[in-house]
């Protein structure tokens, strides 16, 4: 059977297919060129994808770095408080606490190289608050508040300090005396925080008489007119043995004129020098055999217009051969803890200048005692010679009996 084929129906279809193929080929090779109706070509705009927006740079917030960390509890009182920042510059810091009496107390400190450091250690059992200000990297101000709480301490955990003299004018032999109500185990750490300065400046050193008492003296007697400033910055300072300093103490005092009494137990005379010049020679009577007045350098510790001498205070009991009833004396200047005084002794005027008849005190007439009492003050020096019985450390202010080399060895540093 013959099949009739119609050629016209195939050709147009082939042309159409070729047209499609040609279009596809052009598009694949040259996407921006299309054929025109007259057989030429025309360039078209390329399809541009939408650009992704560039994110705007953001400045990181200030990071606050504090010691102790925010919210810390039970912070040790010997912690050094500080604050600084990252991603910015600290410009201001204010630290304060509310005392147990409800009073807000500011804490001193200093800002250096971007770090604020507190000047003092901490009070026990209180909450501290930091108020901080900084500039971020864009120069904008940021602020923050942080707080922490310190460990509570009992009185048995804290060492109370007293510094003497606490003011006024004293003599050229007066040492600075620091006493403590509990033993100081870590003497070196305490001593580092006990600072004595003077105008004019004079070299000196601390000497620990015990774990409860330390003295500071210059190499030689104080220069008259010296201004002395003492800072015992011991609040929160570790004392060792699980204890800390309870408080800081400041003292200022002045050194008066030079007054030195030179007692000679052999000649029974006392020469008093004021500003280097002999001002008076006083006939005296010192301690008799068995009750010798001590030789050495002593310092006037106390002054009494009236004082009662008791035999019990020097170890005598009723019935002892040297026992005596209470004796009231006038114008008594204490120079040892053991009971030596300069004082009026009208009962021994006939022996004064001739013999030693006392229980160890240096006695003189009423008239001489009035003059001596008026001229001498606490801290003035009494230098005694003529006895084999020496002064001993701890028996009054015996500091000047040690050489400078020995004295320095008593420091904990």
pLDDT at 47 over 90: no
pLDDT at 98 over 90: yes
Nearest to 159 by CA among 235, 76, 80: 235
Nearest to 89 by CA among 123, 109, 112: 112
pLDDT at 212 over 80: yes
Q: Which residue has the higher pLDDT, 144 or 44?
A: 144
Return the CATH fold of 155-256: Immunoglobulin-like (2.60.40)
Nearest to 302 by CA among 341, 329, 260: 341
pTM of the predicted model, to two decimals?
A: 0.80
pLDDT at 277: 99
Please name the residue that has the structure tokens 């200047």: 333
pLDDT at 284: 99
User: Predicted confidence band at 42 (pLDDT cuts at 50, 70, 90)?
Assistant: very low
pLDDT at 26 over 80: no
Q: Which of 51-55, 102-106, 391-395 has the lowest mean pLDDT?
A: 51-55
User: Predicted confidence band at 244 (pLDDT cuts at 50, 70, 90)?
Assistant: very high
Q: Which of 30-34, 198-202, 248-252 has the lowest mean pLDDT?
A: 30-34
pLDDT at 314 over 70: yes
Please state, rounded to an integer, the average pLDDT across all residues of the chain: 89
User: Predicted confidence band at 48 (pLDDT cuts at 50, 70, 90)?
Assistant: low
Q: Which residue has the higher pLDDT, 316 or 367?
A: 367
Paired sense of beta strands 88-98 and 104-107, if any: antiparallel
Residues in the chain: 413
Is the fold of 63-149 the same as that of 259-401? no
Q: Looking at residues 244-265, what average pLDDT do you find?
A: 98
Assign residue 15 a region (left: φ > 0; alpha: ψ between -120 and 50; beta: otherwise).
alpha
pLDDT at 310: 83
Q: Looking at residues 251-265, what average pLDDT do you find?
A: 99
Q: CA 40, 42, 46: angle at the middle one, nearest 5? A: 150
pLDDT at 56: 62
pLDDT at 55: 63
Cα separation values, 201 from 129, 193, 230, 251, Å: 39, 19, 13, 17
Residue 208 neighbours by CB under 8 Å, 6+ apart:
187, 191, 214, 410, 411, 412
Paired sense of beta strands 381-385 and 259-264, if any: parallel
User: Predicted confidence band at 23 (pLDDT cuts at 50, 70, 90)?
Assistant: very low
Distance between CA atoms of residues 141 and 123, nearest Å: 31
Nearest to 334 by CA among 384, 286, 400, 382: 382
* Number of CB atoms found within 10 A of residue 392's CB: 13
User: Predicted confidence band at 368 (pLDDT cuts at 50, 70, 90)?
Assistant: very high
Distance between CA atoms of residues 76 and 88, nearest Å: 29
pLDDT at 255: 99
pLDDT at 58: 78
Q: Looking at residues 370-378, what average pLDDT do you find?
A: 99
CATH 2.60.40.3780 fits 63-149, yes or no: yes
Nearest to 358 by CA among 322, 387, 328, 390: 322
pLDDT at 38: 43
pLDDT at 5: 36
User: Predicted confidence band at 323 (pLDDT cuts at 50, 70, 90)?
Assistant: confident
Distance between CA atoms of residues 79 and 77, nearest Å: 5
Q: What does the radius of gyration of the chain's CA atoms come to, in whole angstroms?
A: 45
* Number of CB atoms found within 10 A of residue 157's CB: 17
Boundaries of every domain in the chain: 63-149, 155-256, 259-401
Q: Looking at residues 193-202, what average pLDDT do you find?
A: 99
Distance between CA atoms of residues 206 and 227, nearest Å: 18
Q: Looking at residues 282-301, what average pLDDT do you find?
A: 98
pLDDT at 44 over 60: no
Please name the residue that has the structure tokens 């060492």: 159
In three state form, how does the secondary structure of the chain look? CCCCCCCCCCHHHHHHHHHHHHHHHHHHHCCCEEECCCCCEEECCCCCCCCCCCCCCCCCCCEEEEECCCCCCCECCCCCCEEEEECEEEEEEEEEEECCCCCEEEECEEEECCEEEECCCCCCCCEEEEEEEEEECCCCEEEEEEEEEECCCCHHHEECEEEECCCCEECCCCCEEEEECCCCCCHHHHHHCEEEEEECCCCEEEEEEECCEEEEEECCCCCCCCEEEEEECCCCCEEECCEEECCCEEEEEEECCCEEEEEECCCCEEEEEECCEEEEEEECECECCCCCCCEEEEECCEEEEEEEECHHHHCCCCCCCCCCCCEEEEEEEECCCCCCEEEECHHHCCCCCCCCCECCCEEECHHHHHHHHHHCCCCCEEEEECCCCECCCCCCCCHHHCCHHHHHCCCCC
pLDDT tens sequence across 122-144: 999 999 999 999 999 999 999 99
Distance between CA atoms of residues 98 and 104, nearest Å: 4
Q: Active-site positions?
A: 343, 361
Return the CATH fold of 259-401: L,D-transpeptidase catalytic domain-like (2.40.440)
For a pLDDT cut of 70, what percent of the chain falls above it? 86
Cβ atoms of 163 and 142 within 8 Å: the answer is no
């Amino acid at each position: 059977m013959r099949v009739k084929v119609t050629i016209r129906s195939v050709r147009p279809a082939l042309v159409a297919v070729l047209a499609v193929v040609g279009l596809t080929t052009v598009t694949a090779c040259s996407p921006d060129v299309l054929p025109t109706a007259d057989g030429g070509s025309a360039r078209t705009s390329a399809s541009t994808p939408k650009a992704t927006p560039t994110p705007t740079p953001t400045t990181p917030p200030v990071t606050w770095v504090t010691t102790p960390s925010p919210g810390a509890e039970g912070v040790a009182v010997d912690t050094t408080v500080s604050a600084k920042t990252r991603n910015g510059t600290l410009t201001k810091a204010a630290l304060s606490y509310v005392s147990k009496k409800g009073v807000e107390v500011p804490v001193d400190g200093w800002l250096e190289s971007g770090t604020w450091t507190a000047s003092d250690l901490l009070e026990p059992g209180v909450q501290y608050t930091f108020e901080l200000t900084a500039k971020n990297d864009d120069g904008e101000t940021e602020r923050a508040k942080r707080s922490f709480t310190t460990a509570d301490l009992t009185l048995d955990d804290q060492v109370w300090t007293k510094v003497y003299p606490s003011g006024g004018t004293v003599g050229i032999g007066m040492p600075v005396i620091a006493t403590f109500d509990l033993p100081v185990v870590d003497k070196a750490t305490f001593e580092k925080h006990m600072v004595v300065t003077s105008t004019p400046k004079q070299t000196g050193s601390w000497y620990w008489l015990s774990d409860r008492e330390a003295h500071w003296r210059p190499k030689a007697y104080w220069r008259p007119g010296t201004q002395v400033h003492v800072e015992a910055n011991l609040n929160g300072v570790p004392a060792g043995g699980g204890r800390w300093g309870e408080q800081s103490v400041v003292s200022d005092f002045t050194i008066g004129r030079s007054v030195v009494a030179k007692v000679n137990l052999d000649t029974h005379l006392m020469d008093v020098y004021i500003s280097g010049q002999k001002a008076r020679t006083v006939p005296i009577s010192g301690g008799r055999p068995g009750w010798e007045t001590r030789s050495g350098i002593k310092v006037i510790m106390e002054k009494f217009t009236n004082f009662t001498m008791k035999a019990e205070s020097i170890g005598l009991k009723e019935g002892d051969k040297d026992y005596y009833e209470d004796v009231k004396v006038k114008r008594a200047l204490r120079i040892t803890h053991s009971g030596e005084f300069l004082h009026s002794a009208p009962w021994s005027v006939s022996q004064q200048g001739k013999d030693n008849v006392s229980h160890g005190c240096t006695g003189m007439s009423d008239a001489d005692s009035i003059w001596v009492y008026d001229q001498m003050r606490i801290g003035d020096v009494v230098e005694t010679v003529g006895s084999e019985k020496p002064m001993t450390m701890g028996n009054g202010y015996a500091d000047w009996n040690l050489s400078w080399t020995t004295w320095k060895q008593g420091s904990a540093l």
